[in-house]
Amino acid sequence: MKNCLKMDAFDGVVDESSAARRQRQRTQGGSADASAAAGDEPSYAAYRVVFKNRDACIHWLLRMAQLIEAEWADEPARKRRLELFRRCVEDCQEHAHADCRELGTLLPSKLQSLECTERHFLNLLLPIERKWSRGLRDHEFIVTTADRPSATTPSTLPLHFVLDHLRSAFNVGALFRTADCLGVSCLWLCGYTATPEDAQVQRTTMGAHAHVAWQWRQSTEAALDELRAQGFCIVGLETVANAPLASDFTFPRTGVAIVLGNERHGLEPGVLARCDAVVQLPCRGVKNSMNVAVSAGMCGYEVARQWSAAAAAAGVEVGTSTSASSDVPVLSVIAGEARGVGLELVANTTDAGKT
C-alpha cells in the first residue's frame, strides 16, 4: 500500500498508510486542531522538521492558521500562536521553493501587530488558502451557532425531494442540509445517487442526514409511482419549453414531490412523462440552468412560502414547532387544488447543474 506524507498535530512528518490515515480521521474528526485539543501545542521545533518540504511546510502553516482562528477568543493563546505563526512565515523568505518564499514576503508586512482583529487575520489567510490549498469545505468551517437540541422534534412539510441519478455526492449532501432546514419529509435517492453511507455525503451534510428521512429506489419511475399512490403531486424541476416559473405555479397543499434531475442530463423523458407538472426557475444570465442543490432550495422555499401565505389567508390554524425557534410554522394540509398542467415537454441536455 502506498504511503503518504502527513503532519501529525504539528509534531513533524511521519509516514502513514492511507488506511491508517482514514482511521485517524475517523477517531479525531480530521479537524485542524484535533490533536491540539488533546493537549499537543504546535512548536517552532516541529515546524523546522517539516520546513524543507514545500507541501508539508505550507500545510503546517495553514493548519496553524486554522488553529488560531478556531481558538481566537483565547487571547493569551492567540497572541502566542500569532507570534509563532509570524516567525514561521518569516522563515519562508529563505526557503528553497519559490512558493514558500512568496508566502514569506506576503504575510509578515501585513501582520506587524499581534493586536489585529479576526477579520484582518482572515483577510490575510483566505488568499493563502485559495492559492496553496483546496480551501475549506463546508464541514471544516467553524460554526458558532449551536444546533437545536437533538431531542427536538423537527417541523416537517408534506414535501418530498426525488433525486434522479445525481452524480455528485457533494450535491446529495447539500440537499440533505437544505431538506433539514426546510422541513422536507423525505428524500428519495434513486439509481446511482449516493446515499448517506457515502463518506463525502456525510461530511457535506454536517450531520443533517441523521435528521432527514430517506429511501433508496433503483428506479426513479417506481419511486414516482409510489408517491402518486400516496396522493402526492409530482412536480419536475427542469428547463423545458412552456414550463411555468415556480413562482407562477400553485403547488397543491395536499403534498408535493419535487423531482430533481442529473447534473448534466437533467430529467429523462420517461421521468418527465410521469410528472403531473414541470416548473422552472428564472435564469437571466448566459446560462439557462444552475446547480441542482441550489435549485432545489429555491423551489422548496417557494413551495413553503405559498403554503404559508395560503394558510394565513384562509384563516387556517397554523401550528408551531416545538423547537427553540417557535416561529417556524407547521402547515396544515388542505385539499382542493387541481393537479397537473398541460405542458409540451422537451428534453434539455444543456450544461451541468440543471434545474
Check which CATH number belongs to the domain holding 236 and give it.
Answer: 3.40.1280.10
Q: How confident is the model at residue 160 (pLDDT cuts 50, 70, 90)?
A: very high
Same domain, 130 and 222: no
Whether 175 has a pLDDT exceeding 70, the answer reads yes
Position 45 in a domain: yes
Are residues 238 and 297 both part of a single domain? yes
Establish if 14 belongs to a structural domain: yes
Confidence of residue 126 (pLDDT cuts 50, 70, 90): low
Q: Where are the beta strands (DSSP E) in 82-156?
A: none
108, 44: one domain: yes
pLDDT score for 125: 74
Residue 236 sits in the same domain as residue 176: yes
pLDDT over 80 (residue 136): no
Are residue 202 and residue 312 in the same domain, yes or no? Answer: yes
Q: What is the pLDDT of residues 250-297, one digit of tens each?
A: 999 999 999 999 887 889 899 999 999 999 999 888 877 789 999 999
Question: Within this chain, do residues 126 and 245 fall inside the same structural domain, yes or no?
Answer: no
For residue 268, what are the contacts with CB-CB under 8 A and spacing of at least 6? Answer: 164, 220, 261, 347
Q: Which helix H or strand E contains 190, and what residues bound it?
A: strand 184-190
Residue 350 lies in a domain: no
180 and 310 co-located in one domain: yes
What's the distance, CA 319 to chain centroid?
29
Residue 352 lies in a domain: no
Q: Considering the chain, what percentage of its residues have pLDDT values greater than 90?
A: 33
User: 185 in a domain, yes or no?
Assistant: yes
Look up residue 286 and give its three cell numbers: 448566459
Please tell me the distance from the alpha carbon of residue 221 to that of residue 271, in angstroms, as a whole number. 6
At residue 109, the pLDDT reads 66
In this predicted structure, the answer to whether residue 221 has a pLDDT above a threshold of 90 is yes
Q: How far is CA 290 from the centre of its chain?
A: 16
Residue 150 lies in a domain: no
Q: Are residues 225 and 322 in the same domain?
A: yes
Residue ranges making up the domain that contains 192: 157-330
Between CA 295 and CA 266 the distance in angstroms is 12
Neighbouring C-alpha atoms within 13 Å toward the C-beta of 107? 32
Given this model, what pLDDT does residue 134 score? 53
Sorted by sequence, the CB contacts under 8 Å of residue 230 that are 6+ apart come out as: 255
The residues, any chain, with a CB within 8 Å of residue 154's CB and separated by 6 or more, are 148, 180, 183, 211, 321, 323
What pLDDT shows up at residue 297?
Answer: 95
> How deeply is 251 buried, as exposed, middle or buried, from its count of CB atoms within 10 A (0-12, 13-18, 19+)?
buried
Q: How many domains does the chain have?
A: 2
pLDDT tens sequence across 14-37: 333 334 433 443 444 333 333 333
Kindly state whether residues 87 and 59 are assigned to the same domain: yes
Tell me, yes or no, whether 169 and 309 share the same domain: yes
pLDDT at 295: 94
Verify that 163 and 268 share a domain, yes or no: yes
Predicted confidence (pLDDT) at residue 169 exceeds the cutoff of 60: yes
Residues 203 and 284 in one domain: yes
Domain boundary residue, one of 140, 165, 185: 140
Domain closes at, from 94, 110, 140 = 140
Of the two residues 107 and 305, the one the predictor is more confident about is 305
Q: Is residue 49 part of a domain?
A: yes
Question: So what's the pLDDT on residue 40?
Answer: 64
Q: Which residue has the cell 502513514?
A: 16
The residues with which 330 forms a beta bridge, in sequence order, are 319
What mean pLDDT value characterizes the chain?
A: 74
Residue 337 counted as domain residue: no
**Which stretch of 132-141, 149-158, 161-170, 341-350 has the lowest confidence by average pLDDT?**
341-350
Least confident interval from 129-138, 258-267, 291-300, 326-335: 326-335
